[in-house]
Amino acid sequence: MVRAKRIVLIGAGSAAFGPVTLMDITSSKVLSGSTIVLHDINKEKLERVYDIVVKENEIGGNRFTIEQTLERKTALKDADFIICSIENGDRFLLRRQDNLIPRKHGSTEMMAENGGPGGFFHSARQIPEHIRIGQDIMKYCPDAFLIVYSNPVSRICLALKRSIPGLKFVGLCHQIELLTKYHLSDMLNKEITEMKLTLGGLNHFGFLFGLEDFLTGNDLIPEFNAKCMEYFQGKWDRFHYADLTFELYKRTGWFCYAGDNHVCEYLQNGSQYTKIEDILEWLDKMESGNKSVNTWLKLYHRRLERGRYPRKGVMLNIQSEERGIPIIEAITINSNSYEMAVNIPNNGIIDNLPQDLVIECSGYVNRDGIHGVKLGNIPKSVAALLRIEASIQDVCVEAILKKSKDLAIACLAMDVNCKSFEMAEAIFNEMSALQKKYLPNFK
């Protein structure tokens, strides 16, 4: 019999994170009987989500114990698993500053989420708070397993690896769903459950290195390569797979599954293939979606207060595309399940990338955690591109951990979207003044 777990959601009031994660948990039979702890620093949002979750739990037969708290110490006490998706500050206001200020100074900044000069400042806002969370985990529940949904996930996880030895964690991202959910089955005329994907690289910069039939073990990469370009004719999507993805595929021979609007952050020529107007429109779409979920939550909370909440509920039997809960289930029941994309320390998985790096790869999950599928040496053409971003991440994390202004400017200057130390210094000075409230005290 599986022991009931204590699962803590940090940032539970988030419209982009809280509801879908709760849907995943309440759909789980393995985790039935567990305690779900909702934690957020925004009292109004936390109470709104809590009230709805309590009602949904009641409709579902009270299979879980639901708690809420504004205090992280209280939330983490005796936790088994923590899922974290926080954003330090106003997510979309600051993201637009990350994008527009570097461009004002001449940078070819694109998405400004995980890469580019703007990605540095996103990292500098996020990493210190995640380290504080990691330190609290080691203090109040040292055996717990942390799942990081927050971006920039590679840099956050690298900072956790370097600063908190012994912390058990994984970073997760659903970008592989672009390929598996919308294209791969149609291209190869197979259900996705019949195929085993082997991935490798960095978050938002990962490549499909292996593809085989689960039942026969047959290599499907030759068929993928034979059909890929013809299949995508007429299906190019300016927000996902378009000019940059296929130029990179043509030049390296390997498919990057992250999509144009993410991989453009990491390449010198990214801005030649990706339009900034599309990137800004994508940010608008994300913000609009976030507002829609908040509106949805407010609507059903008002109906709950008025005694008019739907009798069958609104959250049951709906699941997200996130993999946090399946991973918790796999660890809990020791299933040795296969995960297509996890972000974990390299530790010999990819030999020709730095070992002190957090990579995105495929892996198996059991009670001992997550074990990456060894790739050995990946193709040199791909490894060379990844090492550029790996070096930038190295300096980025070091600058933030040491609160070093000189290292911060050096990191900005070496980025593929920046052209000089003078530009880097101008970007640093304006962004530091503008976002001072959320940044380390760089000296």
What are the residue numbers of the active site?
174
Could you tell me the CA-to-CA distances from 38 to 10, 83, 413 in Å, in that order? 7, 10, 40
Contact present, 129 and 87 (Cβ < 8 Å): no
Supply 260's token pair: 């144009």
The C-alpha atoms of residue 61 and residue 287 are separated, in whole angstroms, by 34
**For residue 398, which of 170, 123, 130 has the smallest C-alpha distance?**
123
What's at 398, amino acid-wise?
E
What three-state secondary structure class fits 145?
A: strand
Nearest-5° angle of CA 211, CA 215, CA 219? 30
Strand partners, 20: none
**DSSP assignment, residue 109?**
-
Supply 409's token pair: 């400017």
Helix, strand, coil shares of the chain as percentages rounded to 5? 50, 15, 35
309 Rama class: left (phi>0) / alpha (psi -120 to 50) / beta = beta
The C-alpha atoms of residue 334 and residue 349 are separated, in whole angstroms, by 22
Residue carrying the six token digits 């971003």: 389
What's at 170, amino acid-wise?
V
The C-alpha atoms of residue 116 and residue 363 are separated, in whole angstroms, by 28
